[in-house]
Amino acid sequence: MRPLSPAGQQAIHDLAQRHGFSPAAVHCMLEAVIHGNGSMAQFNHPEFGGSGQWMSGGMTMVSDLFNHALKSRVDGLCSELSNLIAQQPGLIQSGSFQSQSQSGGPGQQQASYGGSQQQNSGGGQQQQNGAGPVGPVSLFVPPRRRRGRRLVG
């Protein structure tokens, strides 16, 4: 897992407290949601009941099929992580994800992933903590640059 920036650590800690999971579990789910380009996740962690899947728009599956409370908590966590990722477009690499959409009747919302557009259906909660500088704050510590060594021959 990638190391988190101080802002990322605080966001993970806040989400963990709000949803009743450990920060390590939330970090694991963050990675899963990032790998799903912010719109889906496949995960396997004991705190989430083992393996499961989540997709934005309402599909959540956990191994403990009849544990609706856990399913709801996982869905809430993933939805908030998805919103956090949408606010941090630098976390998702575009160009490697394909999206399909179907045009339906009026009122159908479409989202474009891997690009820059995403619409929320209004069912999730959004939180702003007011801390931090204006503009996006990176959740992850930037990778170190390696200095090459020259061989003298």
Has residue 96 been placed in a domain?
A: no
Residue 141 has a pLDDT of 76
Q: Is 9 exposed, middle or buried (0-12, 13-18, 19+ CB in 10 A)?
A: middle
* CA separation for the pair 16, 10 (Å, rounded): 10
Has residue 140 been placed in a domain?
A: no
Q: Which DSSP letter does residue 37 get?
A: T
Residue 4 has a pLDDT of 79
Comparing CA positions, the residue from 119, 76, 95, 77 lying closest to residue 37 is 95
Residue 79 near residue 93 (C-beta atoms within 8 A): no
Residue 150 has a pLDDT of 58
Comparing CA positions, the residue from 96, 73, 97 lying closest to residue 21 is 73
Pick out the chain residues at pLDDT < 70: 89-137, 146-153
Has residue 59 been placed in a domain?
A: yes
pTM: 0.62
Residue 35 has a pLDDT of 93
Residue 58 has a pLDDT of 87
**Size (the chain), residues:** 153
Structure tokens belonging to residue 46 = 């004991």
* CA separation for the pair 93, 80 (Å, rounded): 19
Residues whose CB falls within 8 Å of the CB of residue 126, separated by 6 or more in sequence, listed in order: 83, 120
Sheet-wide strand order for 59-62: 40-45, 50-55, 59-62
Has residue 41 been placed in a domain?
A: yes
Has residue 132 been placed in a domain?
A: no
* CA separation for the pair 39, 54 (Å, rounded): 8
Has residue 142 been placed in a domain?
A: no
Residue 38 has a pLDDT of 92
pLDDT digits (tens, 9 = 90+) for 135-153: 556 777 777 776 666 566 5
Q: Which domain holds residue 62?
A: 6-89
**Residue 93 CA: distances (Å) to CA of 12, 27, 113:** 21, 18, 10
Residue 97 has a pLDDT of 42
Has residue 125 been placed in a domain?
A: no
Total domains in the chain come to 1
Has residue 121 been placed in a domain?
A: no
